[in-house]
Structure 1
Amino acid sequence: MSEKEAEAPAVDAAELAAWQREGRAFTVLDVRNRDEFEAWHVDAAEAVQIAHQQFIAARAKGTTEELIPDGPEPILVVCGVGEASAEVADQLRETGVDARNLAGGMDAWAREYEAVELLFSGGTLLQYQRPSSGCLGYLLVSGDEAAVIDPLRAFADRYAEDAAAHGATIQYAIDTHVHADHVSGVRAVAAATGARVTLPAGASERGVGFEPDRLLADGETLSVGDAVLETIELPGHTPEGVGFRIADEEHGDVLLAGDTLFLDAVARPDLAVEGGAVEAMARALHGSLSKLLNLPDGTRVAPGHVASATSADGAGRYVATVGDLRERHGLLSLREDEFVERVTGSLPERPANDEQIIRINSGTETVDDETALDLELGPNNCAAR
């Protein structure tokens, strides 16, 4: 039996994430039902859906070759938990195709969460990456203190473990804004560690139904060991959105930009407001981006989201300098009216269950952990291009 005819090798979620970061060519074959695929699937340049039942019928008829996707090999076969996809991958390998199975399926993909270290002379700065949704979060460690920025509830235990591994305890659990695409972990982290829940000052005007320990307004600072986070008001994605600048003379300051500025897109302005207020938010976003473009060229932008098509740097980090973004990011060169027209005219579908997720993050609705995870599955759709 040839190598391709042998049992299909398994690709785990971490390896798939590496494929995406490296920009590797491959084809996703999703054998779930069509509605499941359309709601959420592994994002790849080539992704097709052919239901498992069609492969069962093709095996009986001897027509498996007719179902082979046209895209580049390897073909990564995907289902919900990795069982039906393993059968299909084996079936495809019998035809000589380089087919592989995503171990654990979409369930494992949803739970994949990785950390890479950003250059930072004042301690340790980790960038957390959730490749299934593109969500990025951060852990800042300086001395024996730590802060987590934009944590996810599904991974609340992870942050405390990583802080402890660096000899620190989490002092602050911070959100840059009221998120619409994922369930925030600030209160879960606080409950587990005693960290202080910290939100932008404008969050109170969004109707937050709990009392944060700290509200940060424009220009206010937060000390974490010897590191200092400087709050920068950045309305546009939401009215209350902020970013945090962390000084670093050796490697260049870091700007944790939240959902305001991405490496190849900008925030969408319509998730917190409706009607005519969307245009006003888009104008506010243009002003916030102009503020960021006035930062020194060497300032490193670390965004709150990344698209699967965005390539990481050689160390697996999603970060770019203000100078680089100014040169390569077409939306940043538009005049205000052009920018507003472009951004408001190119809005994708809203994130899945966004209104309910906002209520949960605002503290006006409560759900259990499993429900919270199910609600946020799917593309984040927080960007405009």
Structure 2
Amino acid sequence: MEQKEINTNTLREWLDTGKKVNILDVRPFIEREELKIPGSIHIDAYDELKKNNPDPLEVVDFDKSIPVVTVCAGGKTSSIAAEILQNSGYETYNLQGGMKSWSLSWNTASIVFDNFEIIQFRRAGKGCLSYVIISDQEAMVIDVSLPVEIYKEFLDQRELILKYVADIHIHADHLSRTKELAEKNKIKPSLPSNDKLNYPFNPIAYGQYFSIGRINVKSIHTPGHTLESTSYLIDGKVVLTGDTLFTNGVGRPDLKADKEEAEKKATLLFHSIQKLIRLDQSIIVLPGHTSQPVAFDNQPIQSELKEVVKNTPLLKESEQEFVQSLLKRIPNPPENYLKIVEKNITGDFTDVNPIDLEAGANRCAIS
């Protein structure tokens, strides 16, 4: 019997539309702990399956009327699991490219206000969050992390006029498609003022306003994670905080920095966060990333500022305590971040495979 396969986009559509499916993850426990598909079921069968030993799958007892998708890191060992389950009478599909390919899966959630709407685009397999701000059929896109066709299709379907495409900072965990989306729409990308980028862009000044329909978006310089990091205050109701402030953590200050530089950036981060937490406590915080798998639940990843302060112990510490606590908790840097930064500075991705380069979970937050 020929083995069936499923690609990331089809599985994404199944989950997005609520189709019933059992996703069986056969990777080692440590790999699953780093990154997983929401709602998937785990059996650590990897080593035994590589020996063609079917015994670990004997515990599988799914409803045979519901299809099963098997998953591993790259799609090879999971194909063995798919064959075993198929021979046991299950309608089984192997996920092509495994979790590497899943890193480009995505879903959306929306937040609606009187004068504007925000669509949160979520890379479910990577944790990267990007945003489309809409008011009176005008739009601004921030932190383009998915293939540009996804945003372009959304903009075309809604018949939106794209006025601005911006980044919050020069990213290290994903390739920024901001330049590409801007160029496809015949506008210049907007990025926080810096002397690093090797392509033309509109530098964003501190305190600059962007007009979109009936609202304004204000830039707030919030250095620390990077020196150019910028947050965006939308109509005084929402703040996009990037990697400066998460819903229950803060950004890491050590990327491309030695110990002394990391300490200086941690101090900058403390003062940037103080600037943000002095805003109205009812303002909604929308972060640039999440370290948890993103569910297909249409629920935006957000929190009121007062809840962020309440749920983030680091925010209650003095400057010295904050800096020392942060430096002690910094996780190991991602192996690929220097290469990603280099490619984002040039804006040229023609010589890299995004799936390979961006592989791995997000490690930007410290809680």
Answer yes or no: same fold by TM over 0.5: yes
Q: Whole-Å Cα distance in 2 between the matches of residues 274 and 38 of structure 1?
A: 31
Give the Cα separation in 2 of the matches to 1:16 and 1:94.
25
State how far apart, in whole Å, the 1-side matches of 2:228 and 2:14 are: 37
Q: State the TM-score, normalized to the length of structure 1.
A: 0.79
Judge conservation of contact 2:109–2:300 (CA < 8 Å) in 1: yes
In structure 1, distance between residues paired with 2:334 and 2:17: 25
Name the SS for the 2:353 alignment partner. Answer: helix
Determine if the alignment matches structure 1 residue 162 to structure 2 residue 154: yes
1:208 aligns with 2:197: yes
- 1:264 is aligned, of 240, 248, 255, to 248
> Match for 1:187 among 176, 179, 188?
179
Which residue in the other structure is 1:4 paired with? Answer: none
* Structure 2 counterpart SS, 1:276: helix
- 2:359 maps to a residue whose letter is L
Corresponding residue of 1:237: 225
- Tell me if the contact between 2:125 and 2:293 (Cα under 8 Å) persists in the aligned partners: no
Note the C-alpha offset of 1:273. Answer: 2.4
Shift of 1:12: 2.3
Residues 162 and 8 (structure 1), Cα distance of their counterparts in 2 relative to 1, 3 Å cut: closer
Structure 1 Cα separation of the partners of residues 310 and 117 of structure 2: 29
Deviations 1:178-206 (A, max 9, x none): 101111111110221113210112x22xx
Matched, 1:122 2:115: yes
**Match of residue 146, structure 1, among 139, 149, 154:** 139
Does residue 12 in structure 1 map to residue 23 in structure 2? no
Instruction: Tell me what 1:301 maps to.
Output: 285
Deviations 1:101-158 (A, max 9, x none): 6643325412212121112322331000001110000011222321110002x41122
Structure 1's 101 and 326: CA in aligned 2 closer, same or farther, altered over 3 A? farther
Contact 2:49 2:80 in 1 (8 A): no
RMSD: 3.6
Separation of aligned partners in 1, 2:274 and 2:23: 38
State the distance in 1 between where 2:105 and 2:294 align: 18
1:210-236 Cα offsets, whole Å, 9 max, x none, are 221x21122111112222110111011
> Alignment partner of 1:178: what SS?
coil
Q: Which residue of 1 aligns with 2:329?
A: 346
Distance in structure 1 (CA, Å) of the matches to 2:240 and 2:280: 15
Name 1:54's counterpart in structure 2: 49
Query: Is the alpha carbon distance of 1:15 and 1:30 closer, same or farther for their aligned partners in structure 2, counting shifts above 3 Å?
Result: farther
CA contact (8 A) 1:122 1:226 kept: yes
8 Å contact kept, 2:142–2:166 = yes
Residues 1:329 and 2:317 aligned together: no
Equivalent position of 1:135 in the other structure: 128
Distance 1:169 1:66, change over 3 A: closer
Q: Which residue of 1 aligns with 2:215?
A: 227
Structure 1's unaligned 5+ residue stretches are 1-6, 20-24
CA contact (8 A) 1:151 1:175 kept: yes
Task: Tell me the TM-score normalized by structure 2.
Answer: 0.82
Q: Aligned to 2:170, which of 159, 178, 185?
A: 178
Shift of 1:326: 1.3
Q: 1:268 to 1:376 in 2, by over 3 A?
A: same
After TM superposition, give the deviation of residue 260 of structure 1 in Å. Answer: 0.6
Correspondence 1:383 to 2:365: yes
Percentage identity across aligned positions? 26
Q: Out of 356, 360, 364, which is 1:374 matched to?
A: 356
Tell me the number of residue pairs that the alignment of Structure 1 and Structure 2 aligns: 351
**Distance across 2 between alignment mates of 1:185 and 1:287:** 30
1:145-178 deviation line (CA, Å, top 9, x unaligned):
21110002x4112212212222212221100101
Residues 277 and 55 of structure 1, relative CA distance in 2, 3 Å threshold:
closer
Shift of 1:331: 1.6
In the alignment, residue 316 of structure 2 is paired with which amino acid? S
Q: Which residue identity lines up with residue 129 of structure 2 in the other structure?
A: L
Partner residue in 1 for 2:235: 247
Q: In the alignment, which of 9, 33, 42 is matched to residue 36 of structure 2? A: 42
